[in-house]
Structure 1
Amino acid sequence: MSKRAVLEVIALGAEDAVAAQEGGADRLELVTDMAADGLTPSRTGFEVIRGAVDIPLRVMLRLADGFAAGDIDALVARASDLREAGAEEFVLGFLTADGDADLVAVERLITVLDGCRWTFHRAIDRAAHRETLRKQLADLPGLDTYLTAGAATGVDDGLAVLKAEAARAASGEPGYEPQILVGGGLRLDHLPELRSAGLTAFHIGGAARPQGWTSPVSPDAVRVWREALDG
């Protein structure tokens, strides 16, 4: 019996969170403002969602669209505030202008996170060299997941990369210990190929909202993914 696959769903508020949990999500990624590709929610927003569901929550740390860290002092302050509110898992990812990991920004944030687990998000898909980025981040405390489509343009174009990275992870290659969380243009028809390659964690946003981002998460839509992964 293979281990149950992880299903992470983007939640913008408590209604989304409750629906996603009801549909069988294992974990939520909390963001606000999807027009800017997902920014940090408010402390109050986090607290309301935390009170509404009991599954793990990963909170986005990002103040502006794009992959530059921007105002790192403001971001550190927000992260500190969210930690005080009880946030225990986070999502972040910043690149320098050259497409390397912005280690200054990342290290300042994870100092505040103080051992919390975190995901390095799809900035990896925009990095100049994926392998170099993994080496740059390899020894950072708390990093347990990479959210990636394998390509900046989405899973359709990233399948070969995802399968190759899954193989490197399976062989125990250094830098490939964090779980690969597949997301970004992910569709149900990708799952058989990804599962057979040994990938075990999946992330959906729009797929959980058949009516679009202006409508809440549909528990039925999430359940379809849960059943596909469990089947």
Structure 2
Amino acid sequence: MSTRAVLEVIALDAGDAVAAQAGGADRLELVTDMAADGLTPSPRTFSAIRAAVDIDLRVMLRLADGFAAGDVGRLAGVAGELRGAGADQFVLGFLDAGGGVDLDAVERVVAALDGCRWTFHRAIDRAADRDALRKELADLPGLDTYLTAGAAEGVDEGLPTLLTEARRRGEPGYGQTLLVGGGLRLGHVPELLSAGIDAFHIGGAARPDGWAGPVSEEAVREWRRTLDLPRGAGLR
């Protein structure tokens, strides 16, 4: 029996989380400070959201804008604090100055996660060599997802890459779930579903009033309805 596509929604606080779950989200990505493209929320914020909803939560591990790891010791410490608060899924991704994966930083932070599941985020869309990055990370414990638009500019430009990578599922470095996000629009969904992509990530698309406003339950519900259409069906 087929399972429904996963819908992940960015949440900044408990209100966002409640609206997203009510609209049909399967999972939340927890961040703060979207002006910096999403940084690590506090353990207190995590705890408030965990108390408000019962769906999966993935917590961003990122201390500053950009894709450099920064203070890896501090980052590992923050991960430990969040683990202590009950977090058991995470989001991270670090590049070096040349656009390669910062494997040392990733390995040190992943060690602090002690086997928790995690997503390598859109740093892959800024990587000098996506294929090399995937192969370097392939055997790290807990890595089960790549959040990607296929290109730094967004899904419009990255769609061919996403479709190509979907066809490579099962090859070395391509066993993880493709979670598509970054300029994702409802109009992209039918082609992505037809390609076998079954995980989708939205942020601004869930907020009709922009990042200054809350997640809209109805906006999330519209995405849920679209993802649940029979495969091959067009948008209504």
TM-score for the superposition, normalised by structure 1: 0.98
- In structure 2, runs of 5+ residues without a counterpart are 230-236
What residue in structure 2 maps to residue 66 of structure 1? Answer: 66
Equivalent position SS for 2:105: helix
Shift of 1:6: 0.2
Which amino acid is the alignment partner of residue 131 of structure 2? E
- In structure 1, runs of 5+ residues without a counterpart are none
What residue in structure 2 maps to residue 5 of structure 1? Answer: 5
Q: Please give the alpha-carbon distance, in whole angstroms, between the structure 2 residues aligned to 1:6 and 1:19.
A: 16
Q: Please give the alpha-carbon distance, in whole angstroms, between the structure 2 residues aligned to 1:36 and 1:20.
A: 22
What residue in structure 2 maps to residue 205 of structure 1? Answer: 203
Q: 4+ residue stretches of structure 1 with deviation over 3 A?
A: none
Aligned CA RMSD, in angstroms, stands at: 0.6
Shift of 1:71: 1.0
What residue in structure 2 maps to residue 187 of structure 1? Answer: 185
Q: Please give the alpha-carbon distance, in whole angstroms, between the structure 2 residues aligned to 1:197 and 1:37.
A: 28
Shift of 1:3: 2.3
Provide Cα deviations, 1:202-222, integer angstroms capped at 9, x if missing partner: 000000001110000000000
Q: Please give the alpha-carbon distance, in whole angstroms, between the structure 1 residues aligned to 2:134 and 2:108.
A: 18
| 1:227 paired residue among 195, 220, 225 | 225
**1:176 and 2:166 are equivalent in the alignment:** no
**1:105 and 2:79 are equivalent in the alignment:** no
Alignment of 1:12-23 (within 5 A): 12-23=12-23
Q: Please give the alpha-carbon distance, in whole angstroms, between the structure 1 residues aligned to 2:83 and 2:101.
A: 24
What residue in structure 1 maps to residue 233 of structure 2? Answer: none
Shift of 1:2: 3.5
Q: Please give the alpha-carbon distance, in whole angstroms, between the structure 2 residues aligned to 1:17 and 1:3.
A: 23
Q: Please give the alpha-carbon distance, in whole angstroms, between the structure 2 residues aligned to 1:211 and 1:2.
A: 35
TM-score for the superposition, normalised by structure 2: 0.96
Shift of 1:129: 0.2
Which amino acid is the alignment partner of residue 57 of structure 1? L
**1:87 and 2:87 are equivalent in the alignment:** yes
Provide Cα deviations, 1:90-134, integer angstroms capped at 9, x if missing partner: 000000001111111111111110000000000000000000000
What residue in structure 2 maps to residue 57 of structure 1? Answer: 57
Count of paired positions: 229
Q: Please give the alpha-carbon distance, in whole angstroms, between the structure 1 residues aligned to 2:76 and 2:83.
A: 10
% identical equivalent positions = 73
What residue in structure 1 maps to residue 124 of structure 2? Answer: 124
Shift of 1:198: 0.8
Q: Please give the alpha-carbon distance, in whole angstroms, between the structure 1 residues aligned to 2:32 and 2:154.
A: 21
Alignment of 1:130-149 (within 5 A): 130-149=130-149
Provide Cα deviations, 1:165-186, integer angstroms capped at 9, x if missing partner: 00000xx211101100000000
Which amino acid is the alignment partner of residue 138 of structure 2? A
Q: Please give the alpha-carbon distance, in whole angstroms, between the structure 2 residues aligned to 1:175 and 1:107.
A: 16
Which amino acid is the alignment partner of residue 224 of structure 1? E
Which amino acid is the alignment partner of residue 173 of structure 1? E
**1:166 and 2:166 are equivalent in the alignment:** yes
